[in-house]
Structure 1
Amino acid sequence: MTQTTERPAAAPGAPTGTAPAGPSARIAVLKRDGGVAAFEPAKISAAMRAAFLAVEGQGAGGSSRVRELVDVLTGQVVAALERRYGAGRSVDVEEIQDQVELALMRSGEHRIARSYVLYREEHARLRAAAASLPEPDDASRGAELPQMPGGARIPDLRVTGPDGGQAPLDVDRLRLVIGEACADLDPAVDASAVLAETVRSLYDGITAAELAQAPVLAARSMVETEPDYSRVSARLLLDVLRTEVLTLLAGEPQQASQAQMAERYPAYFADYVRHGVADERLDPRLLDFDLERLGAAIRPERDLDFTYLGLQTLYDRYFLHTRGVRFEMPQAFFLRVAMGLALEEDDREARAVQFYEALSSFDLMTSTPTLFNAGTVRPQLSSCFLTTVDDDLDAIYSGIRDNALLAKFSGGLGNDWTPVRGTGAYIKGTNGESSGIVPFLKVANDTAIAVNQGGKRKGAVCAYLETWHIDVEQFLDLRKNTGDDRRRTHDMNTANWVPDLFLQRVEADGDWTLFSPDEVPDLHDLYGAAFKDRYEHYEAEAAAGRIAVSRTVRAKDLWRRMLTMLFETGHPWITFKDACNLRSPQQHAGVVHSSNLCTEITLNTSRDEVAVCNLASVNLAQHVGPDGLDEEKLRATVRTAVRMLDDVIDINLYTIPQAENSNRKHRPVGLGLMGFQDALFTLGLPYASEAAVEFAGTSMEAISHAAISASADLAEERGAYASFPGSLWSQGVMPHDSVARVAEARGGDLDQPVVERQDWASLRERVQRTGVRNSNIMAIAPTATISNIVGVSQSIEPQYRNLYVKANMSGDFTVVSTSLVRALKERGLWDDVMVSDLKYYDGSLGAVDRVPADLKALYATAFEVDPHWLVRAGSRRQVWIDQAQSLNLYVLEPNGRTLDELYRAAWRQGLKTTYYLRSSSRTHVEKSTLKGTDGRLNAVAVAPAAAAVPAVPAAVAPPVTAAPTAVAAVVPTGAPQPAACSIDDPECEACQ
């Protein structure tokens, strides 16, 4: 839709188009301090728009009318100054501001001009006042109780208690709680403003519950202007939690400030454990710990480290409760998890303190099932379960039953359905024909919905199918919103398990034959050269008419359909069978038949073995500084993490015997990472850069070396895992050594460089000599939820947007890039106009003229980073990982050629799996202000197509590489964005 706007008449000789974007070389600005700076028209535009914002509200700053008008007026000011001063002369700041006033008046914008005049006068007054005052004492900042602005008085109000009785509002406590919450944060945090906004929402007779929430919502509404208000909101929510917890344990109303709670924490902790055991929530063995010693180890100040999103997530779904009333404070939560993991340790208290320190400092975080259940009476701590569904009715329904039992306590599921015979295959027992896998997948889908994990979240499952299965085309359609709904699985994830031979046929434009597995049963267990030989044998058999159920298709056509469905429905994902198996350390013990719910686990499965994996993630942001990676700290964190994960195996509650047998025999764990984007911000490395790709490899190599060393330490202490003999580990083959096996199988067609920086020679020798404790050690999970808790970017993801509203099961949350705000403040660029710009451009800096190019490159958002950079970084990481990684791919404008090149690049560069394909959504950040709301945010507003993320800055363009011949475009640009591809799917958290 084209929109026209009436423009004011331009001054003679003034430009009528867009205002100049960059500094003017003809004019210099004489600053108030006597210095000289380049003249920047973008600053004039920002000042004008600030005046419009002040008069017309936040919505004005992002309107097309205002933007076009400001561009014209800026052009007029520039032209007037250039006529008057010409080249080489300096112009005073006040003269520039005079010209802005004149331009506003001539355009007829008298109210805006008046606001601009008042703005100048107020800032002149503030400059004069600041010059006469001493510098504030930073040590005392935030210590005083907030006052109402202008000396206003808080009205006399009464508060209605739970019993219906009323009491006067405790004004002093309200001021104390807000003052504590705002202390020691960014100077821009204004406790008086939070107090005023809180008072604005109060009324006579307000309930105690509403009063407790009022400051939280007041601070929450300010997050977009200063990210530290998120921490203020979290601290105010802490006060709600303290009251809830202490009242329950005391049996009568109790309150405590943060300072008071710090003193009470040790005694509270002992009461908490006793109550939890009596309430049959906590394992009675926790009473055997030295509770006084553990209580003394608690760090109360760490309660203040949460963002609002993190603490609200814990409050809603993680903290233990008695019939909806919580009795678990944050540090008790972390210590409970630590104690639960230390139950089998020799010195339980010392290990519990070690684990607690790692968790509560946010150096690492275990996965959601471990956080939910460690230390409780039902300690199901594992994240992922992988199963193979065999080809008979009893096995099929046993597999669906196993799904229900495994999902009950928060497990995420990956099911290998390839063995189940396809449509039209002969059934000897009934002398009939099979209906194929789709009807059974429908039952599995509905089972996942029925088992909702106690209301905490839906069951989650992913079905895998090999590309040669006769039902693969029906499998591709499972997530479509059209067609027979009885043959659709709207809630089940799906993934293609793709052999190398298929992609080789695509590149050769060859044929591809589909079979029913009952006639070609050995294909399921073969990979590499053995698969190729046997597959070609079956093709010859089919051509000779000796196979009853088969069909030949053009490989490119099937590949096109796979990519089309991936774009249209978000499924099935693309995962690579041969890379997963050729690099598996457990080749001697079985076959990897699928990945898991989130595509990072690659473990063997069979009818008798259900693979289990236990996850944790290192917070990489906590292990980097401006000078690089702190390898010593990283090694210590990894050592603790691997020990915790190994303990999970022995403590875990197993709901089916096949899972327990497999897990105790092989003892796999999956250590990953999160906060990768935050680490890049600290290092000043744009995601789309060679340096970031290099860092992805070096940081993962350091984690890999430390994790394998830690597992070898445990092997010396506790013994190697039972199936160690014959493994790649026992042969001295480290994860990166196995890359050569993939290259050999593909005839050298692999673009995945390997460069050693750590001391691998001595580690190889040690592992061969002593063994490792765990068959598999590393896997990078999505971490969407635990990264929210910690307050860092999830997993290895690029930053989604610099300002957006995040929706999950705890509600809607304004998310602002703290790192970006800090950088903009350092350059004097963070103001209301910048907030408006970020909303208007949906969290992107690309089109904001006054932001320097280096910041645009560093803070490029996910859809501004060419996805080939994500593949290259993933490839470098994959070298060092014995399992896989949950790698999302972001494509701004998908089409067939783009997706074909991207996924073939992922295959050729040695990735084992890929996860979601994310395309830019049709909804964006609310363009109007969030200030003045009650905190229940209006998450998104439909935006015109023209408001999509702007063009990628040149600084983040991908390297030009020769791409293979592309399949013709088949995916329609502009198709509806599938709900399953939202940036944060709150229903899919089993691995997180």
Structure 2
Amino acid sequence: MSDLTLPAKRVHGGTVADRLTDTVRTRVLPARYLRRNATGDVVETPAELFDRVATAVAEAEAAYGGDVDHWTDRFGERLAGLEFVPNSPTLMNAGTDGQLSACFVISPQDSLDSIFATLGRAAKVFQSGGGVGYDFSRLRPQGAPVRSTGGVASGPVSFMQVFDTMCEQLRQGGRRRGAQMAILRVDHPDVGRFCVAKRAENELANFNVSVAVTDAFLAAVRADEDYPLVDPQTGERHVATDATVAFYSPAFADAAPERVDANLWRDYAAAVPGLDAYRDRLDVAVGDPLSLPAGLVWTLAVDGAWRNGEPGLFALDTTNRDHSFDVDRFPTHRIAATNPCGEQPLENFEACTLGHVNLSLVVNEGVTPWFERDRASEDGNDEETTGDGAALAADVERLLADAVDFDRLRDVVHDGVRFLDDVLTVSTFPVDEIADAVRDGRKIGLGVMGFAELLIQLGVRYGSPASVEVARQVMAFVDRESKLASHHLALERGTFPTWSESKWATPTRYPDWFRRHGGLDPDDWPDRFPLRNHNTTTVAPTGTTGMIADTTSGCEPLFDVVNFRNADEDVQGAERLVEVDSYFLDVLAANGYDPEAVRAEALSLLEAGRFEGPSSLSVPPALASLFVTAHAIPPAEHVRVQAAFQEHVDSGVSKTVNLRETATRDDVAAAFELALATGCKGITVYRDRSRRTQVLTTRPTTRDESSDVGRDRDRDVATGDDRPASERWCRRC
């Protein structure tokens, strides 16, 4: 590799329009972001879009005695330079009466009034351009008695269908379909029904779903023990009803559908390997306290994720332990759900207000890449070795000190935090309770995109031990600087109103937490650390915003150097979108290759269905190996990168563990186990071509059903919008 040249990535073009890809300039922005007149004609240029956003957001400065003109120019420069991009609703609605945050959590209580009030609030959110996550765990299970009517409850999954129908009917702000996340606790009596709710691809098409797993459940999985189900009304052990027995008991495996609507053994056991091992452990009788083998629920979740990417897992106890508030002391701050993308665990009615720093643009010129440097550690690009941890960390620290313009990165982080705090000030919200929650906590989510392109410029293989250490150190810097920026804003503008209840008010009481998230010594702040925003960092998927910035999404690897993208009809039109990684072309040119010739070769192979990644192109193996792609990375390496980011992120990290089509359920289980063991707050996997359509693919046709392995095809119905959880709704982030 020593003769390879890796140029520092820079934006090209003297105008905003010139810096954008053809797809973004001619399809994405006109369809979603540029203003239109009364007759539907586009009346805004890309430069005017960024000017509109910068001007509208900087108006907040007047409320704090700031220089509005200065910050209008400063924010405009960051946007026009593609150094920082906010979430889609800010780009769409800034300068109008619309709300500017991406997503919210609004969870129903167990009453019809609350359920349908939540439905109405969600509809308002969808109209304003946002998405909604819900915790359905408070709803009583199917078959539970309803004293007011003498009937029985229909259960969370049935009400999810109502929400799904509502969402289907509304296009957000007249432009986009709604986005929803459903969360159910693993100890809810209907967890089995929930795990199989999306096995058919047309079911709950407007939902992502995740099971909220607890420490007690995971311990029971490891010990192969049963665990108790809990009555959501009383908090006591669930007493089996006719409905729960009919679903879980093998005694009803031969019952007719007219008598029993669903039975685990009749409807699913034959298609779920390993489930039969638990058949004899389910001796369930009406009136008995109900427990389930933890391995049974784990097997259902793993099988669903292997089949089509759902459900994901949400680490409930880990999330609350890492919260800015001690939920044992202040239980009203307990978190039960996430936004639709999963990277923002939110208290009820909180909002995720997101912005993303483009890491691909902070590399210095003339960097000596990792593979040419003298190092004390073993080869950190070798996926089989980790070397000495301290030596590797020191080597990576020296690499980053030479290669990354940390002064520039610091400035962009500080400007990004200020921008997002200003967004909270100028935004309106569709629901009063949301406005109150946003005001009380002022939660923001500054994240990153372009991480994979940063690694390539450094000469570091994505997934290697060195890449994990780069993730850890870069995100630690972003997190620390975001806290310092929020601290400075607190001194200027005041702390968030519930600051006194937060861990930031007593750093020495939570020293390890404070060191990790503040990057500071708690003994230097024995009494208080004023902060403007109770959370400052998250890592979102940045699907559309990454396209706008012409870089890789969030902390994801490069999907491939060329691929198809399946987008909504308003963006895609009659032709499939084809994406070619622009930095790959830059590297080709810098090393004496004709980028247009290689591009033409890649497109020809792609259209013929014979493209197998960079190694299938007429380029040197050393060059191809630098552009490691999503399916070439072992699942454990995906997870370790996510876990490294999570160490220094307040909220969560949205990442998909991309699996090859041939991956097994054991591969899924191993990814789940590693993610939960290494502190990830959530985990999503997606096996290539496990759905009939997916957002990103290198295949010109839909999945060949004849090649399906182990699928119950009779239960699959084609839909037009099936995507892995962390990709499907990323257009908001």
Provide TM-score, normalisation by structure 1: 0.58
- Partners of 1:506 and 1:559 within 8 A in 2: yes
- Could you tell me which amino acid in structure 1 is paired with residue 641 of structure 2? A
Change (3 A) 1:820 1:437: same
Q: Secondary structure at the match of 2:682?
A: coil
Correspondent of 2:602 among 835, 847, 855? 835
Distance of 1:703 and 1:391 partners within structure 2 = 41
The CA distance in 2 between the partners of 1:946 and 1:427, in whole Å, is 47
**2:139 maps to 1:398:** no
The yes-or-no answer on 1:765 pairing with 2:508 is no
**What are the within-5 Å matches in structure 2 for residues 329-728 of structure 1?**
329-346=45-62, 347-376=67-96, 378-481=97-200, 488-520=203-235, 548=287, 550-587=289-326, 588=330, 589-605=332-348, 610-625=349-364, 626=367, 627-728=402-503
Q: Could you tell me how far 1:328 is from its partner in structure 2?
A: 1.0
Amino acid at match of 1:874: Q
SS in 1 for 2:338: coil
Q: Distance in 1 between matches of 2:636 and 2:526?
A: 35
After TM superposition, give the deviation of residue 427 of structure 1 in Å.
1.7
Name the CA shift for 1:938/1:645 in 2 (closer, same or farther; >3 Å): closer
Structure number with greater Rg is: 1
Alignment check: 8 A CA contact 1:601 1:779 kept: yes
- 2 CA distance for matches of 1:946 and 1:699? 45
Is the 2:309–2:724 contact (alpha carbons within 8 Å) kept by the matching residues of 1? no
Q: 810-819 or 410-419: which moved more?
A: 810-819
**CA distance in structure 2 between the partners assigned to 1:785 and 1:522 by the alignment:** 45
Number of the residue aligned with 1:220: none
The 1-side partners of 2:461 and 2:706 are apart by 26
Residues 984, 426 of structure 1: alpha-carbon distance in 2 compared, 3 angstrom cutoff? closer
Structure 1 residue 857: Cα displacement = 2.6
Within 2, Cα distance between the matches of 1:416 and 1:407?
18
Once the two structures are superposed, residues 556-597 of structure 1 have per-residue CA deviations (whole angstroms, 9 ceiling, x without a partner) of 121111111122232221110011000101233520111111
Question: How do residues 178-327 of structure 1 correspond to structure 2 at under 5 angstroms?
Answer: 301-312=15-26, 313-322=28-37, 323-327=39-43
- The residue matched to 1:388 in structure 2 has which SS? coil
Change (3 A) 1:788 1:590: same
Whether 1:784 aligns to 2:543 is yes
1:732 aligns with 2:507: yes
**Deviation at 1:793?**
0.8
Q: Which amino acid aligns with 2:321?
A: L
The answer to whether the 8 A contact 2:309-2:725 is kept is no
Letter paired with 2:412:
T
For residue 466 of structure 1, report the CA deviation from its aligned partner. Answer: 0.3
Q: What is aligned with 2:677?
A: 908
Deviation at 1:614, TM superposition (A): 0.8
Q: Which amino acid aligns with 1:823?
A: V
Partner Cα distance (1:556, 1:837) in 2:
47
Alignment of 1:161-172 (within 5 A): none
Instruction: Give the direction of change, closer, same or farther, for the CA distance of 1:585–1:357 in structure 2 (3 Å limit).
Output: same
Kindly indicate whether the alpha-carbon contact (under 8 Å) linking 1:808 and 1:984 is maintained by their aligned counterparts in 2: no
Cα distance between partner residues in 2 of 1:579 and 1:658? 26
**Structure-2 residue corresponding to 1:797:** 556
Q: Which amino acid aligns with 2:340?
A: L
Q: Distance in 2 between matches of 1:865 and 1:404?
A: 40
* Change in 2 beyond 3 A, CA 1:455/1:905: same
Contact 2:205 2:721 in 1 (8 A): no
Aligned partners of 1:342 and 1:348 also within 8 Å: yes
Cα gap change, 1:991/1:547 in structure 2, threshold over 3 Å: closer, same or farther?
Answer: farther
* Pair 1:884-2:652 in alignment: yes
| Alpha-carbon distance change, 570 to 987 in structure 1, aligned in 2, over 3 angstroms | closer
Q: What is the CA distance between 1:986 and its match in structure 2?
A: 8.2
What is the distance in 1 between the residues matched to 2:722 and 2:123? Answer: 25
Q: How many residues align structurally?
A: 623
Q: Quick check: 1:560–1:970 contact (8 Å CA) kept in 2? A: no
Tell me what 2:578 maps to. 814
Maintained 8 Å contact 1:696/1:876: yes
1:310 counterpart letter in structure 2: V
Which shifted more, 871-880 or 804-813? 804-813
Asked if the contact 2:504/2:529 (under 8 Å) is kept, the reply is no
In 2, distance between residues paired with 1:841 and 1:767?
Answer: 62
Distance 1:471 1:721, change over 3 A: same
Instruction: Please list the CA deviations of residues 789-821 of structure 1 after superposition, one character each: whole Å capped at 9, or x if unmatched.
Output: 111111111111111122323113321223323
Write the distance in 1 (CA, Å) between the matches of 2:145 and 2:173.
41
Select which of 496, 521, 534 maps to 1:775: 534
**Is the 1:341–1:648 contact (alpha carbons within 8 Å) kept by the matching residues of 2?**
yes
The CA distance in 1 between the partners of 2:450 and 2:643, in whole Å, is 18
CA contact (8 A) 2:539 2:652 kept: yes
In 1, the alpha carbon distance for the partners of 2:691 and 2:350 equals 39
Equivalent AA in structure 1 for residue 185 of structure 2: E
Identity %: 26
Cα distance in 1, alignment partners of residues 286 and 325 from structure 2:
33
CA separation in 2, counterparts of 1:861 and 1:399?
A: 41
- Tell me the residue number matched to 2:241: none
Q: Given that residues 226 and 294 in structure 2 are in contact (C-alpha distance below 8 angstroms), is that contact kept between their aligned partners in structure 1?
A: yes
- Shift of residue 450, structure 1, vs aligned partner: 1.5
> In the aligned structure 1, how far is the partner of 2:625 from the partner of 2:509?
36
User: Secondary structure of 1:624's partner?
Assistant: coil
Deviation (angstroms), 1:481: 2.1
CA distance in 2, matches of 1:888, 1:939: 19
Aligned partners of 1:902, 1:991: CA distance in 2, in Å?
A: 27
- Aligned equivalents of 1:490 and 1:318: distance in 2? 25
Q: Which moved more, 1:344-353 or 1:701-710?
A: 344-353
State the Cα distance separating 1:886 from its structure 2 match.
0.5
Q: Superposition pairs for residues 910-925 of structure 1, below 5 Å?
A: 910-920=679-689
CA contact (8 A) 2:562 2:603 kept: no
CA contact (8 A) 2:17 2:25 kept: no
Q: Give 1:941 deviation, angstroms.
A: 3.3
Aligned partner letter, 1:328: E
Distance 1:985-1:586 versus aligned 2 partners, 3 A rule: closer
5+ residue gaps, structure 1: 1-185, 187-226, 236-299, 524-542, 741-753, 926-936, 949-968
Q: Closer, same or farther in 2 for the Cα pair 1:521/1:980, shift >3 Å?
A: farther
| Residue aligned with 2:301, SS | helix
Q: Which residue of 2 aligns with 1:856?
A: 624
Separation (CA, whole Å) in 2 of partners of 1:857 and 1:564: 32
Distance 2:526 2:60 in 1: 25
Shift of the alpha carbon at 1:628? Answer: 2.1
Letter in 1 for 2:152: E
> Residues of 2 paired with 1:907 and 1:739: CA distance?
22
Change over 3 Å in CA distance of 1:733–1:562 after alignment to 2: farther
Q: RMSD value over aligned CA atoms?
A: 3.7
TM-score (norm: length of structure 2): 0.78
Show CA shifts across 1:396-427 (max 9, x none).
11111111111111111110110111112222
Amino acid at match of 2:683: T
Cα separation, partners in 2 of 1:987 and 1:448, compared to 1, 3 Å: farther
Query: 1:633 is aligned with what amino acid?
Result: R
Deviation larger for 938-947 or 348-357: 938-947
Letter in structure 1 aligned against 2:200 = N
* Aligned equivalent of 2:729: 988
Instruction: Summarize the Cα distance change of 1:739–1:341 in structure 2 as closer, same or farther, 3 Å threshold.
Output: closer
